[in-house]
Chains A and B, each alone.
Chain A
Amino acid sequence: EAQVTQNPRYLITVTGKKLTVTCSQNMNHEYMSWYRQDPGLGLRQIYYSMNVEVTDKGDVPEGYKVSRKEKRNFPLILESPSPNQTSLYFCASRRTTGEYVLTFGAGSRLTVL
């Protein structure tokens, strides 16, 4: 089944404790992206990657890092999480040719105390 897999789905952590949210897709998509979803604000893009070793900032990159060492994986790293990073995070991927259709993961709900 074609899918984007995120882990963990739920995480409660404390301020300053580094964490990584993994994202993996099995569709051989070139493009991958991270969004956060907050009530009343809609989905906002954090980072995106057009291909291996190519990443760029989205609209809300502060406090986050990403890497793209393999085509299928695009982890989101919070080096020193803060409470304002409490949110629902989604990873998405798509082909870079043809119709612009994002396939989203099921989401990772992060709480930073």
Chain B
Amino acid sequence: EDQVTQSPEALRLQEGESSSLNCSYTVSGLRGLFWYRQDPGKGPEFLFTLYSAGEEKEKERLKATLTKKESFLHITAPKPEDSATYLCAVQPRFSGGYNKLIFGAGTRLAVHP
């Protein structure tokens, strides 16, 4: 069964304290892995897509990496405005996967000044 597990469920950081969020997945062939950011009261907002093991993408203080079993979202020197829930999702290559994403439950990140 296709599955996505994110850890930790919640993370509290001090401003400037770098850390990483984990997304472990089992899927019947991976078409793509996605990271979204969700602010309270809003819908998820797209951040990155990764397609193959070894791929990395960066945006400001965020860097996403991908292996054959997991993805990491590295946050370097975070600021309070990085506080949000970060969602990971996979798009299966098979099982009708083109038309759906399988989401993890998310990691709630709080960055304090």
A40-53 contact mask (Cβ, 8 Å, vs B): 1 or 0: 11111100101000
**Given A40-B105, A58-B100, residue A100 in contact with residue B91 (CB < 8 A):** yes
B71-113 contact mask (Cβ, 8 Å, vs A): 1 or 0: 0000000000000000101010000000111011110000000
Chain A residues close to B by CB (< 8 Å): 4, 31, 33, 35, 39-45, 48, 50, 56, 58-59, 90, 92, 99-107
By Cβ-Cβ distance, the 7 closest A-B pairs, closest first, are: A104-B43, A42-B103, A43-B103, A42-B105, A45-B100, A101-B46, A104-B44
A98 shortest CB reach to chain B, Å: 11
Q: Enumerate chain B residues within 8 angstroms of A44, measured Cβ to Cβ.
A: 103
A74 shortest CB reach to chain B, Å: 14
User: Which label, helix, strand, loop or mixed, suits the secondary structure of the A interface?
Assistant: strand
Q: Give the residues from 30 to 79 in chain B that come closer than 8 angstroms, CB to CB, to chain A.
A: 32, 34, 36, 41-46, 49
